[in-house]
């Protein structure tokens, strides 16, 4: 990682792609930090509100607050829905990415961890459960390449697709903060290891062709904002 703020590629105003933000050493470091966090907050299968249908993606969280979904709805809460324990601290490498990429004056309060197996996907959605919508969402990708799809503020708006690879960062903020986005599928690209070809790092909590995505969010408005 560079200590300077990377310029990135502006896909649409507010949506910035930073390919290869985490190099092999950075991916290995984040993998180790994440493994320690998941030992404290095991991944679980969330369920859709009302229908109670299971997500195809397994999840966990780090930080003071964690995003959860169940029959009661979407919300942030300070404890794991199955163990009742507080969420572990946000990984140091993820916090450094927020500081480098977000441009926001307050730290993140939540780090949602999505674990994808082959065949898992995430339908088009908006990240709108936060009070601090002036803060961006910062995303980090590990593992398999994913086909990321993004559109506009309306679900019916035209969409485009982008391949997110291990080490890539994505910033969703500004005019793009409430765009619809999702993951259509994972793409088998060899070598398909968490660390990439220069730093293969197996992860016990991911299947061989799996993907891990972390999204950092500021949930509440900072004091005085």
Contacts of 217 (CB under 8 A, 6+ apart): 67, 108, 109, 110, 111, 112, 127, 130, 135, 137
pLDDT of residue 193: 45
Which of left, alpha, beta for 72 (phi over 0: left; psi -120 to 50: alpha)? Answer: alpha
- Strand (E) or helix (H) holding 186: strand 181-187
What pLDDT was estimated at residue 5?
62
Angle at which helices 24-40 and 92-101 cross, to 10°: 120
pLDDT for the residue numbered 192: 41
- 16/146 Cα distance (integer angstroms): 16
Q: What is the DSSP letter of 91?
A: P
pLDDT tens digits for the chain (225 residues)?
Answer: 434 567 799 999 999 999 999 998 899 899 999 999 999 999 999 999 989 999 999 999 999 999 999 999 999 999 999 999 999 999 999 999 999 999 999 999 999 999 999 899 999 999 999 999 999 999 999 999 999 999 999 999 999 999 999 999 999 999 999 999 999 999 976 444 444 444 455 567 677 789 999 999 999 999 876
CB atoms within 10 A of CB 208: 12
The pLDDT of residue 195 is 44
In angstroms, what CA-CA distances link 69 with 113, 122, 130? 13, 14, 14
**Domain locations along the chain:** 9-217
Per the DSSP assignment, residues forming a β-bridge with 66 are 77
**Architecture field, domain 9-217:** Sandwich (2.60)
pTM of the model: 0.91
């Amino acid at each position: 990682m560079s200590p300077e703020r990377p310029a990135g590629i502006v896909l649409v105003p507010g949506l910035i792609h930073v390919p290869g933000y985490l190099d092999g050493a950075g991916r290995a470091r984040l993998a180790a930090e994440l493994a320690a966090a998941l030992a404290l907050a095991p991944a679980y299968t969330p369920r859709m509100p009302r229908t109670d249908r299971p997500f195809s993606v397994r999840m966990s969280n780090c930080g003071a607050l964690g995003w959860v979904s169940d029959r009661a709805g979407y919300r942030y809460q300070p404890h794991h829905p199955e163990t009742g324990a507080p969420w572990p601290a946000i990984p140091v490498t993820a916090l450094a990415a927020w500081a480098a990429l977000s441009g926001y004056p307050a730290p993140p309060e939540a780090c949602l961890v999505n674990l994808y197996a082959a065949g898992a996907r995430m339908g088009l959605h908006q990240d709108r459960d936060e009070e601090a919508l002036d803060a961006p969402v910062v995303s980090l990708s590990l593992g398999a390449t994913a086909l990321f799809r993004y559109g506009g503020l309306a679900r019916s708006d035209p969409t485009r697709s982008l391949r997110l690879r291990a080490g890539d960062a994505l910033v969703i903020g500004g005019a793009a903060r409430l765009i619809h986005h999702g993951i259509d599928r994972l793409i088998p690209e060899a070598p398909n290891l968490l660390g990439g070809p220069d730093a293969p790092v197996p992860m016990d909590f991911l299947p061989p062709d799996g993907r891990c995505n972390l999204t950092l969010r500021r949930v509440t408005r900072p004091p005085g904002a």
